[in-house]
Amino acid sequence: MALRISRALQAQMLAEAARAPEREICGLLFGTSGEHVAAAHSCANVAADPSRAFEIDPLALIAAHKAQRGGGPNLIGWYHSHPNGRPEPSPCDRDAANEVGKLWLIIAQGNVRAWRATGAGTLLEIPLELVD
């Protein structure tokens, strides 16, 4: 099953990555059942070396989980960029992929690819369907 995302939302993430070519950008994905990305919210990258890794600000994650428990939007995954790599999971990404079902959008070389965590550090690529 393909993950649906609007062209505008994809363009927003690509533009964010283009504005920060020297570091990994990152953010949260909100939507429905992991099938449709309705919104993406940029977050601070608090990694020790943001040029080589990403770590979403824990306060942003806590706020997203609290909002979801209160009836807010569903947190379905995250996105980040690879400034000097390919739009596929790095070994660090695989090590962090421990929440089964969560989506990972990886941005690199002007492309966005989608992955779903399937357990024990495994990410399975899923098709991305652009919608208007």
User: pLDDT tens for residues 22-64?
Assistant: 999 999 999 987 689 999 999 999 999 999 999 999 999 999 9
24 as an active site residue: the answer is yes
* pLDDT for the residue 121: 86
Domain boundaries, the chain: 3-131
Compute the chain's Rg from CA coordinates: 14
pLDDT average, residue stretch 67-73 = 95
**CB burial readout 69-105, b (16+ within 10 A) else e:** eeeebebbbbbbbbbeeebebbeebbebbeeeebbbb
pLDDT average, residue stretch 101-105 = 96
Does residue 118 contact residue 126 with C-beta atoms inside 8 Å? no
Q: Looking at per-residue confidence, does 120 or 90 come out higher?
A: 90
* pLDDT for the residue 112: 98
Q: Which of 24, 55, 88, 129 is catalytic?
A: 24
| C-alpha to C-alpha distances, 131 to 5, 49, 70, 95, nearest whole angstrom | 6, 35, 29, 31
For domain 3-131, the CATH superfamily is Cytidine Deaminase, domain 2 (3.40.140.10)
